[in-house]
Amino acid sequence: MFQFISEANINRILKHYIEGKTPFQIQACIGKGSYGVAHLLIDRQTGTRYVLKRMRSKHRSDERQIQKFKQEISMLKKLDISNVPKVYLDNEIEGIPYYIMDYIDGHTFEKEIFGEGKTYSIEESFTILEKLFQVVIQLHNHKIVHRDLRIPNILIKNDTIYIIDFGLSSYMKNNVLKEEIDNPKILEDHRSDLYYIGHFLLYLLYSSYEPTNRKEQSWQEELQLPIEIETFIERLLLIRPAFSSVEEALQSIPTLTKGA
């Protein structure tokens, strides 16, 4: 049984190890979640930035969480595509697994919309959607479901879409019945990612929405989208029958979004 190590102590141990035994220097903590912590690294020789992600110290005695974290590492190694971070090194220290990966110097759509006030037209929103679908298809071709495609985890850089944070990802299962799972977000098949993408698309479309009514209404009432687009989004959100795959969703994008 491991003795408890505080986050502050593991940070000191990790910093001493990384800066003494590797070419990297820890610059800052850039993210904290329920299960992991992310640090920005810089290669002292090249100046290249990387990200180190480690499991939180409170989980070091939890074999299930350790295996889940290690699965995240193996998934990223398996993917090896340009739109997700590449893993360069993985190891563990004091029983805490960690890995070092690419730093994607892009903007999240959360920052674009809420931080910078950027707006997207229908045409722009669906252009982004097509690019996102194409990346997610690559994940699904490797039998991996991301299950957390929220606006903080989707980045854009030079018009290229990147996906980060595979902490909730799972391997795809067949014949998952939606009726047996109350929350579609945790489905272990393509529908989970499509459900998240439906909400992502609504964030893009709402970026240019100007309310005219103080009364809260449904997105269908507020956005007043053409029926083809509304139906398309309802299928993503599982309000209507789901698409059979991301490929079908990509092929079903309404043609009126071109030049809208």
The Cα 207–Cα 222 span in angstroms is 12
The Cα 106–Cα 146 span in angstroms is 19
Three-state secondary-structure class, residue 199? helix
In the prediction, which pLDDT does 74 show? Answer: 95
In the prediction, which pLDDT does 183 show? Answer: 84
| Average pLDDT for 243-249 | 96
| Average pLDDT for 38-46 | 95
pTM of the model: 0.90
* DSSP designation for 82: T
Per DSSP (E only), the strands in 56-149 are 87-93, 96-102, 107-108, 144-145
CATH class of 7-102: alpha beta
CB atoms within 10 A of CB 185: 17
* DSSP designation for 39: E
Tell me the pLDDT of the chain averaged across its residues.
91
Question: Residues of CATH 1.10.510.10 domain(s) within the chain?
Answer: 107-257
Cβ atoms of residues 53 and 38 within 8 Å: yes
In the prediction, which pLDDT does 2 show? Answer: 58
The Cα 141–Cα 216 span in angstroms is 40
Span 107-257: which CATH code? 1.10.510.10
Least confident residue range of 33-37, 114-118, 123-127 = 33-37
| Average pLDDT for 194-203 | 97
The band of 214, judged by pLDDT with boundaries at 50, 70 and 90, is confident
**Amino acid at the residue 89:** L
Per DSSP (E only), the strands in the chain are 24-32, 36-43, 49-55, 87-93, 96-102, 107-108, 144-145, 154-157, 160-163, 170-171
CB atoms within 10 A of CB 224: 9
Question: Residues of CATH 3.30.200.20 domain(s) within the chain?
Answer: 7-102
In the chain, the percentage of residues whose pLDDT exceeds 90 is 78
The Cα 60–Cα 42 span in angstroms is 26
The band of 32, judged by pLDDT with boundaries at 50, 70 and 90, is confident
Cβ atoms of residues 123 and 258 within 8 Å: yes
238: left (phi over 0), alpha (psi -120 to 50) or beta: left
pLDDT in tens, 64-88: 999 999 999 999 999 989 999 999 9
In the chain, the percentage of residues whose pLDDT exceeds 70 is 96
Tokens of 229: 């687009």
The Cα 185–Cα 17 span in angstroms is 38
**Any idea which residue has 């698409």 for tokens?**
243
